[in-house]
């Protein structure tokens, strides 16, 4: 079975992108063997969400231009996992330029000893900069999913992510509006965790304050 690579991206951070990526990987287990590749250099959360954050790989290997060594991904919940978090300390940031990010992505996609996968879900770093463009080109994804929250700014940045994928000839399979509402424990009505925010309004003001201004 040919491996299909599905990227999960977002125009901004904090929208629950990694949660959606992991949920997608779990859902795809019904259709074949699944792997998840955590390429979020700035906040690799997949290992924490799967309780495997103490796994460590050698950064000198991952940054080498040539390597005969292959690392075996961690298997958790019947999902093969590789993450940039495996080459970091628990509180250590990974500052990389676009070309270094591309090199790491290339090795994690091609040099890790992945099992015979039907699907590889890739958790991209948020944003639409040169780093994201190079990563998308390197992983050669069959499609992408864009994650937003109900906030206006999240939707605006999400549109930029959609345009980025389209400019790279990657099919946008769909979008997820995360954190839309949760049921009220008393009446069952949907409660939004976000204040309504329109163009020109201040995120610090309440709806009543905006109405009286």
**H helices within the chain, ranges in order?**
17-28, 46-49, 59-62, 98-110, 130-139, 152-167, 207-212
Q: Would 108 be classed as within a structural domain?
A: yes
pLDDT, one tens digit per residue, over 57-104 is 765 555 554 555 677 899 999 999 999 888 765 665 566 677 778 788
Whether 64 maps to a domain, the answer reads: yes
Range of the domain at 94: 4-183
**Mean pLDDT score, 100-124:** 87
- Whether residue 206 lies inside any domain: the answer is no
**Domain membership flag for residue 190:** no
**Mean pLDDT throughout 44-60?**
82
Q: Check which CATH number belongs to the domain holding 158 and give it.
A: 3.40.50.300
What pLDDT score does 7 carry?
A: 97
Residues constituting the chain: 213
pTM for the whole structure: 0.82
**Residue at 72 is within a domain:** yes
212 lies in some domain: no
Q: What is the pLDDT of residue 69?
A: 60
Provide the number of structural domains found in the chain.
Answer: 1
Residue 207 covered by a domain: no
Q: What is the pLDDT of residues 152-176, one digit of tens each?
A: 899 999 999 999 999 999 999 999 9
CA–CA gap between residue 124 and residue 146 (Å, rounded): 10
Rounded percentage of the chain residues whose pLDDT exceeds 90: 49
Answer yes or no: is 201 within a domain.
no
Q: What is the DSSP string of 152-174?
A: HHHHHHHHHHHHHHHHTT--EEE
Q: Match 């990657």 to its residue by tokens.
A: 170
């Amino acid at each position: 079975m040919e491996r299909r690579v599905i990227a999960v991206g977002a125009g901004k951070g904090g929208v629950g992108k990694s949660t959606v990526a992991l949920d997608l990987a779990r859902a795809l287990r019904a259709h074949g063997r699944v792997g998840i590749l955590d390429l979020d250099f700035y906040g690799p959360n997949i290992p924490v969400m799967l309780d495997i954050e103490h796994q460590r790989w050698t950064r000198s290997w991952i940054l080498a231009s040539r390597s005969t060594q292959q690392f075996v991904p961690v298997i958790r919940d019947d999902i093969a996992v590789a993450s940039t978090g495996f080459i970091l300390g628990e509180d250590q940031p990974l500052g990389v330029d676009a070309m270094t990010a591309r090199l790491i992505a290339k090795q994690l996609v091609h040099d890790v000893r992945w099992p015979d996968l039907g699907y590889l879900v890739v958790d991209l770093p948020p944003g639409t900069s040169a780093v994201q463009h190079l990563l998308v080109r390197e992983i050669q994804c069959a499609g992408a999913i864009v994650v937003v929250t109900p906030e206006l700014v999240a939707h605006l940045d999400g549109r930029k992510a959609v345009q980025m994928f389209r400019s790279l000839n990657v099919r946008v399979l769909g979008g997820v509006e995360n954190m839309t509402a949760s049921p009220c424990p008393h009446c069952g009505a949907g409660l939004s965790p976000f204040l309504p925010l329109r163009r020109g309004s201040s995120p610090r003001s309440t709806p009543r304050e905006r109405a009286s201004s």
